[in-house]
Amino acid sequence: MSSSILKRRFLRLSLIALLILTCLGMARLQLWRAETRGERFEREQAALVSIPIKLSAHERDREKLLDRAATVRGSWLPKETLFLDNKIYRSRAGYHVLTPLQLLDGKVVVLVNRGWTAAPRLRSDMPSVFTPIGEIDIGGVTRSFETRTFELQKTLPQGAVWQHVRELEYRKSSGLDVLPVILLQTSDNGDGLIRDWGSPENPATRHYGYAAMWTVFALMAAAYGLFAWRKRDD
């Protein structure tokens, strides 16, 4: 067998081995995502049926507050309302409405995701949202602020329409002393917003499916490599 044929075989098998390792790496990544997101989903579901905690200015530990059923009493700060952009509900474009609620026991606020509202016909117009005045009780579940993703520019959001709501950016932009979690409102206070927070499907199921798919790709690559090894070069 000539050296050129041996080189072609070695190169071919090296590429196949690399492909197999890549597929197995992707399968392992999906298994890790299934584990971590599955645990998060279970905590979130447990929070829905747990005894609610009461949010206050005195408890600021994020780990103790995160993914818990919670109640809070305070007053809305309607002038500080934000509209989280690109939120689709039943094929309709809209916003999530986020308004800080000032707690009664100090100047601390909790940012509340109050629900979904449809976008006006004109992009330049802002939705009209009813906000009750005076003291109000709100119930919901606590969620984490968004984490930073890769961006070319790191500038603070401006105006009422935001693409992302991250804790440090929100603190700097608003100047408010905010709790380290967002309250996802589940109670109704007659504001007409839609609080449909999605299906209870465990996201781990989807990632297990992806892991199985990448494993099949690895097996297919291995089978092809075995075939190529046995095949005689012309």
**Backbone phi, psi, residue 28, to 5°:** -65, -40
Q: Which range, of 74-78, 107-111, 149-153, 195-199, averages the lowest pLDDT?
A: 149-153
Burial of 196-230, coded b for 16+ CB within 10 Å and e otherwise, reads: ebeeeebebeebbebbeebbebbeebbeebeeeee
Under DSSP, the state recorded for 150 is -
Using the predicted structure, report yes or no on whether residue 155 has a pLDDT greater than 80: no
What is the band of 231 on the pLDDT scale with cuts at 50, 70, 90? Answer: low
DSSP characters for 177-210? -EEEEEEEE-S--SS--B--------HHHHHHHH
Q: Are 188 and 130 in contact (CB under 8 A)?
A: no
- Of 16-20, 42-46, 161-165, the range with the lowest mean pLDDT is 42-46
Does residue 1 surpass a pLDDT of 60? no
- Which three-class secondary structure state does DSSP give residue 218? helix
Q: What is the rounded average pLDDT of the residues 29-51?
A: 80
- Report the pLDDT averaged over residues 182-194: 92
Looking at every residue in the chain, the average pLDDT score rounds to 86
Range in 46-50, 55-59, 226-230 the model is least confident about: 46-50
Of 114, 117, 42, give the one whose Cα is nearest residue 78.
114
For 19-32, what is the mean pLDDT? 92
Structural domain boundaries in the chain: 3-38+204-230, 53-201
pLDDT band at residue 75 under the 50/70/90 scheme: very high
Q: Using one digit for the tens of pLDDT, what is the confidence trace for 189-200? A: 889 999 988 666
Section 207-229 average pLDDT: 87
Q: What's the pLDDT band for 51 if we cut at 50, 70, 90?
A: confident
Query: Does the pLDDT at position 151 exceed 60?
Result: no
Q: What is the end-to-end Cα distance of the chain in Å, rounded?
A: 11
pTM (2 decimals)? 0.70
Residue 121 has a pLDDT of: 86
Is the pLDDT at 114 greater than 90? The verdict is yes
Question: Is the confidence at residue 90, as pLDDT, over 80?
Answer: yes
